[in-house]
A and B are shown apart, each in its own frame.
Chain A
């Protein structure tokens, strides 16, 4: 079925290093959302991207939506221990005949930070 693929599954970084997670869909997305889930917690909405080529920043986090609206990335500059968690992308897939489905979540990227 239609999926939203997310890589890598796990990423170990040293504190202070940068981190990037990538999200890809075989189907054009209406929009894409990013969520963060801390260990033992629940997903928390971070941001939504709607426009082709859109770039948004939240402090050290940079979110991009591809020109073809089929891929997205989240980049964290100079990671801190508070960045630990799982980052999920969630896309709204456009149907061939029109309309859109609900959110389809990627499997997430687990960010592990070594001090």
Chain B
């Protein structure tokens, strides 16, 4: 079945550490996205990529980094510079343009120890 796979489902990090969240899709979608979801805040865009080797900052990119070396993969690194990283992180993908319907992965819940 085609879909988006995020791993791990739960992740714990010590303060001061970087951590990388995985996102893989086999839908042959060009565009991929990372969102952060906090209670009562809805979804906020961190980064998005419309094509391999290119990506753009979203509304809350500070403290995060991404790469898009392959069409199928869009990993997100939460760096130690992110002051409040505890949140639910969702990866999504869509056909071509960024205004197309998005398909979401199951998410990764990141907690700081």
Residues on A close to B: CB < 8 A? 1, 6, 9, 30-31, 33, 41-45, 48, 88, 90, 92, 100-103, 105-108
- Contact partner, A103, options B41, B99, B105, Cβ 8 Å: B99
Q: Given A42-B90, A42-B107, A43-B90, do A103 and B40 touch, yes or no (CB 8 Å)?
A: no
Q: Mark B54-97, 1 if CB is under 8 A from A, else 0.
A: 00001100000000000000000000000000000010100000
Q: Given A88-B42, A107-B40, do A100 and B99 touch, yes or no (CB 8 Å)?
A: yes
Query: Is B34 part of the contact surface with A, judged by Cβ < 8 Å?
Result: no
Q: Is the CB of A102 within 8 A of B48?
A: yes
- Contact partner, B105, options A42, A106, A108, Cβ 8 Å: A42
> What's the count of A-B pairs with C-beta under 8 Å?
49
Q: Given A43-B90, A88-B42, A108-B42, do A103 and B98 touch, yes or no (CB 8 Å)?
A: yes
Query: Could you say which residues of chain A place their CB within 8 Å of the CB of B107?
Result: 42
- The 10 A-B residue pairs with the shortest CB-CB distance in the complex, in nearest-first order: A102-B98, A107-B42, A92-B99, A42-B104, A105-B43, A45-B101, A105-B42, A43-B104, A108-B42, A42-B107
How far does the Cβ of A67 sit from chain B's closest Cβ, in whole Å? 20
Chain B residues with a Cβ closer than 8 Å to the other chain, count: 22
Query: Could you say which residues of chain A place their CB within 8 Å of the CB of B43?
Result: 43, 88, 90, 105
Query: Is B7 part of the contact surface with A, judged by Cβ < 8 Å?
Result: no
Query: Is B45 part of the contact surface with A, judged by Cβ < 8 Å?
Result: yes
Inter-chain CA distance A41–B107, complex, in Å, is 8
Q: Is the CB of B98 within 8 A of A45?
A: no
Q: Is the CB of B98 within 8 A of A107?
A: no
Query: Could you say which residues of chain B place their CB within 8 Å of the CB of A41?
Result: 106
Q: Is the CB of A31 within 8 A of B99?
A: yes
Inter-chain CA distance A88–B40, complex, in Å, is 12
Q: Is the CB of A107 within 8 A of B104?
A: no
Query: Could you say which residues of chain B place their CB within 8 Å of the CB of A102?
Result: 33, 45, 48, 58, 98-99
